[in-house]
Chain A
C-alpha cells in the first residue's frame, strides 16, 4: 500500500457518520457570509444594506488575484454589511442576509443530469472556476484558480485529487465520493483539461473501501484517471505527503507542488468545479460532517455557506449537555470555537463536539527525550528542538532547523508521552521565522 515516506501517526479513526447519507439541511432564516473565508485578500462587498439578492448572485468580489468571489447562498435582503464575531471570537467583516424564499439567479442549471463533456478551452475553464469563487474545500481554502494557473516556465504533469480525508471523525469527502462519484470524476476531467495534464490520480485512504470500489467502477468510463488506495496513516492527506505517496516525488523545502509537476485539489472541490463549469453554479453550499461521541445523531449535512454552526448542531440532535469543546474541522488540525453562532464557510469540512475528558489536554510534564516526536514528524523535523527554540526565540537557528517546513499536522503533540504543547510553540516560531524570511525576500527584490 502506498504511503508517504517518513513519520506519521495513526489516531483512532472514529468515523461515526460514515454510513450517514448526505442530508440537505433546511434553508436557514439568515446567513452570515464572511468576506474572508479563503486564503488571500478579503473579498470586497458589492451589496449594501437593504439590497435584494438572489441565490448564487455575486455579493462580494475578489480583492486580488489570490482571493475569491463570494456569492449569496440564499435569496433575500441584505440586513447588514458589518463586523460580526467569528468562531474564534474575533470581529470580521461579513454580509448578513435575511432569507425570503429561495430564488436562484439566472443561468444556474439546477438539473440533476450529469454532463460529462466540456468543450471549453482551458483558459475559459479557469475563468469560470475563478468566477464561481471556488477554493480548496479540504480546509486550507486556497483559491482554486490560483493553483490551476501554472506560472510560466513550469509545467503540470499530474493532477492529484485528495480524497484521503485522514482527519479522524470527518466523513464529508467520503460521502461526496460515494454519492457524487460521477460528478467528481467529471470534475477531475475538467480540471485535467484546464491544466493540460494526461494523468490524474484520486488518492483515497484505505479505510474507505466502499468509496474506492465505487470510484474504481466508475473510472472505467473516464480516460486518464487512476484511483489510488493509500495506507491509513495520518497525515496522508497533507499536500506534500499525498504527492510523495502517489508519485514518489518530494516537494523540496520552500518549493510548491507545481515545482515537482503536481497540482492537488480536494475531492469536494472537484465536484464544486464540475458544478461551476457545467452548471454555472457558484460555490454556495458544501457538505459538513457534524459529529462527536456525544452527538445524538452524527450527520453529513449539505449546508449553505453562512448557516450558523448552531443550526447544524440542532439538526444533529442539538449540542449535547456535556459538550466541552466544539471544533471547526477535524481533531488534528481543526480550530476550537468560542462562538457557536459563527457561520459555515467554504472551508468548513466538519463540526466536532467533544465531551468530558476527551475535551481536555492532559497536564504536561518534562520532556523525556524519547524521540517519538522526531520519528512521528512527516517532514523530518525535530519537534522537541524547534519547540524549545521557539520558546527561547532563537529565530536564526530555527530557520536553519527548517521550521518553515512544518505543516502543523500535530503528529508530534499527538505522540508526545509528556503531553508537551510542542506545536503551540512551533506555530509561533514558524510564523515569526516565516515573517523574517518574507521580509528578507522582499528586501532582496528591491
Chain B
C-alpha cells in the first residue's frame, strides 16, 4: 500500500453532506405522495413514474457519455429526482410515449444543454412539463381514476379548471365552493396531475426536507404566503367572484411547486433574502395566471419565469455580511 503521507489544505474533515444524499432525501420526501397517487389513480401512476425516471436517467447517461463526453453523473440521483418530479406533473392516464418525450425535453433541453447538474437555469422537470402541456394539451389535462367510486367522488376536471369554468360561466364562488371538500383536497381525492394530489403528504415530505436541512423554509413559505395574501385580498374584496385562499393553497401544484420545484437548487437564488423575493414572485405570478390568465394553473409558468430572475437576484441581493451596519 502507498504509505506516503497525504497533504491537503485545511479543512481536513468534511460533513456528512453529499449531492447523492440530498437527492435521496428528496426522493424519500416524495415517496408518501407517490403511494397516495397509486391509491387514487391506480397502478398506471407507478408505470408513468418508472418510465419517466428510467428515461431521464437513460438520457442523462447517453448525453453525458456521447455528447458531453464526461464522467457519468447519474450516480448523484439528480436525474431520478427530475424523473419523479416530471412524473408528478403528469396525469396518470398519459400515454407512455409522451412521458418519454417529456423526459427527453426535460433532461436534454432543460438540463444537459447547459452542462448538466448545477448549471441549468430552468427547472428541467418543468421545462418538460410545459413542453408537454403546450404540445399535448388534451392528454395532459384528462384524468383517469383507479376505481369507479373515486371517479364518482371527484369530478373529471381538476378543481382549478372546474372553478375557472364555473366563474367564467357566472356561477358565484360560494356556490362552487360548496361543491369542494377541503378534506378531499388535503388527502388527494381530486383530479389533476398525480403529484398535485396529496397536499398533506407533500407537507409531510416538506417537514422531512426541513429536518434533514435539504432546503430552508424561505422559498415555500414565501410562495404560499404571497399566494395566500394575494388571494385573500381578492377574496375580501369580492367573495362571490374569487375563491378563498385555502382553496388556492390546496389545489393545483401549489404545494408540489413551492416545496419541490421552486426550491430546485440550481434554479433558485442563493441568499435567504433572494429566496424570499423569488418565492413571493412565484406566488404573485401564479395567482395572476390563475385569476386572469388563460390557464387554470400557473405554478409551472410562474416558477419558470422566476427561474429566469434567479441569476439576477444572485447578482444583486447579497447575504448579510458580518460586521455590516444593521
Q: Do chains A and B make direct contact within the complex (CB under 8 angstroms)?
A: yes
Closest-CB distance, A193 to chain B (whole angstroms): 29
Question: Taking the complex as formed, is A291 at the interface, i.e. its CB lies under 8 A from any CB of chain B?
Answer: no
Q: Which residues of B contact A240 (CB under 8 A)?
A: 322-323
18 A–B pairs (Cβ distance < 8 Å), ordered by A: A6-B319, A325-B12, A331-B10, A337-B7, A352-B12, A359-B12, A367-B118, A369-B265, A370-B22, A374-B271, A382-B271, A405-B323, A414-B15, A415-B15, A417-B18, A417-B19, A418-B18, A423-B11
- Nearest-neighbour CB distance to chain B for A324, whole angstroms, equals 5
B14 contacts the other chain (CB 8 A): yes
Q: Which residue of B lies closest to A421 (CB)?
A: B9
Does B5 touch A at the CB level, under 8 Å?
A: yes
Chain B residues near A204: list those with CB within 8 A: none
| Residue ranges of A at the interface with B (Cβ–Cβ < 8 Å) | 5-6, 9, 11-12, 168, 240, 244, 250-253, 255, 323-327, 329, 331-338, 352, 354, 358-362, 365-372, 374-375, 377-382, 384-385, 402, 405, 408, 410, 413-419, 421, 423-424, 427
Chain B residues closer than 8 Å to A359, beta-carbon distance: 6, 12
Query: Quick one: which of B145-178 are within 8 Å of A by CB?
Result: none
Identify the closest chain B residue to A359 (Cβ): B6
Partner of B322, one of A5, A332, A370, A410: A5
Knowing A384-B270, A417-B17 touch, does A334 contact B10 (C-beta < 8 A)? yes
Residues of chain A with a CB closer than 8 A to B314's CB: 385
- Pair A366/B116 contact, Cβ less than 8 Å: yes
Whether the Cβ atoms of B321 and A361 lie closer than 8 Å is no
- Contact (Cβ within 8 A) B270 A369: yes
Q: Which of B9, B12, B266 contacts A354 (CB 8 A)?
A: B12
Complex: A270 Cα to B94 Cα, angstroms: 73
Contact partners of B265 in chain A: CB under 8 A: 368-371
B209-239 contact mask (Cβ, 8 Å, vs A): 1 or 0: 0000000100000000000000000000000
Q: B9, A423: Cβ atoms under 8 Å?
A: yes
Inter-chain contacts of A365 with B (CB < 8 A):
19, 73, 76
**Known pairs A379-B321, A405-B322; A368 contacts B19 (CB<8 A):** yes
Docked CA distance A323–B3 (Å):
8
Residues of B with C-beta under 8 A to A368: 19, 22, 78, 117-118, 265-266
| C-alpha spacing A352/B6, complex, angstroms | 13
In chain A, what residue has the closest Cβ to B17? A417
Within 8 Å CB of A367, what residues of B? 118
In angstroms, how far is the closest chain B Cβ from the Cβ of A4?
A: 8
CB proximity of B66 to chain A, nearest CB, Å: 19
When distances are taken between beta carbons in the complex, the residues of chain B under 8 Å from A338 are 5, 7
A369-B322 CB under 8 A given contacts A336-B6, A374-B271, A384-B270: no
Q: A250-B322, A326-B5 are in contact. Are A418 and B10 (CB under 8 A)?
A: no
- In the complex where A240-B322, A371-B271 touch, is A366 in contact with B12 (Cβ < 8 A)? no
What separation, in Å, do the CA atoms of A414 and B10 have in the docked complex?
10
User: Would you call A410 and B21 a contact (CB within 8 A)?
Assistant: no
Q: Flag if A336 contacts B270 (CB, 8 Å).
A: no
- Contact of A378 with B118 in the complex, beta carbons under 8 Å: no
Q: How far is the CA of A338 from the CA of B7 in the complex (A)?
A: 7
Q: Do B322 and A378 have beta carbons less than 8 Å apart?
A: yes
CB-CB under 8 A for A6 and B5, given A368-B266, A372-B17, A417-B18: no
- Other-chain contact of A331, B12, B17, B21 (Cβ < 8 Å): B12
Taking the complex as formed, is B318 at the interface, i.e. its CB lies under 8 A from any CB of chain A?
yes
Query: Once the chains bind, are A375 and B216 in contact (CB under 8 Å)?
Result: yes
Taken together as a complex, chains A and B put the C-alpha atoms of A143 and B320 apart, in Å, by 32
Taking residues whose C-beta sits less than 8 angstroms from the other chain, chain B's interface range is: 35 or more
Q: Which A residues are in CB contact (< 8 Å) with B318?
A: 382
Tell me whether B14 and A336 are in contact (CB under 8 A).
Answer: no
Return chain B residues, CB-CB under 8 Å to A323: 5
CA distance A313 to B230 in the complex (A): 66
Question: What is the chain A residue whose CB lies nearest that of B119?
Answer: A366
Q: Does B13 contact A (CB under 8 A)?
A: yes
B8 within 8 A of A: yes
- Report the minimal beta-carbon distance from A427 to chain B, rounded to whole angstroms: 7
- B67: Cβ under 8 A from any A Cβ: no
Q: Which residues of chain B are within 8 angstroms of A360 by Cβ–Cβ distance?
A: 6
Tell me whether B142 is interfacial, beta carbon within 8 Å: no
Interface residues of B in 298-326 (CB under 8 A from A): 314, 318-325
Q: When A331-B11, A368-B265, A369-B118 are in contact, do A362 and B18 touch as well, CB less than 8 Å?
A: yes
* Contact across chains for A414 and B14 when beta carbons are under 8 A apart: yes
Q: Does B319 lie within 8 Å of A380, measured CB to CB?
A: yes
Contacts of B73 in A (CB 8 A): 365-366
- Taken together as a complex, chains A and B put the C-alpha atoms of A370 and B209 apart, in Å, by 13
The reply to whether A402 and B321 form a contact with Cβ atoms under 8 Å apart is yes
Known contacts A324-B6, A336-B8, A359-B12; 15 additional CB pairs below 8 A are A6-B320, A6-B322, A332-B10, A332-B12, A333-B10, A338-B7, A368-B78, A369-B266, A370-B22, A371-B271, A379-B323, A380-B319, A381-B321, A384-B270, A423-B10
Point out the residue from B12, B15, B17, B269 that lies within 8 Å of A334, measured CB to CB. Answer: B12
CB neighbours (8 Å) of B270 from chain A are: 369, 371, 374, 382, 384-385
Given A253-B324, A378-B322, A9–B15 Cβ distance below 8 Å? yes
**CA A423 to CA B9, docked complex, whole Å:** 8
Chain B 17-42 interface 0/1 with A at a Cβ cutoff of 8 Å (1 = within) = 11101100000000000000000000
B272 within 8 A of A: yes
Chain B's nearest CB lies how many Å from the CB of A327? Answer: 6
Measured CA separation A417–B24 after assembly (Å)? 13
Task: A362 to B14: give the CA distance in the assembly, Å.
Answer: 9
State the 9 A-B residue pairs at the shortest beta-carbon distance, nearest first: A410-B11, A380-B321, A371-B270, A252-B323, A417-B17, A368-B118, A369-B266, A331-B13, A336-B7
| Complex CA distance for A324 and B2, rounded to whole angstroms | 9
Contacts of B80-121 to chain A: CB distance below 8 A:
116-119
Q: Which residue of B lies closest to A418 (CB)?
A: B19
Q: How many angstroms from the CA of A418 to the CA of B19 in the assembled complex?
A: 6
Whole-angstrom distance between the alpha carbons of A434 and B79 in the complex? Answer: 42
Kindly list chain B residues whose C-beta atoms are within 8 Å of the C-beta of A244. Answer: 322
- The minimal Cβ–Cβ distance linking A65 to chain B, given in whole angstroms, is 26
CA distance A168 to B15 in the complex (A): 12
Smallest CB–CB gap between A299 and chain B, Å?
20
Evaluate contact between A419 and B10: CB separation under 8 angstroms.
Answer: no
Q: Which residues of A contact B324 (CB under 8 A)?
A: 250, 252-253, 380
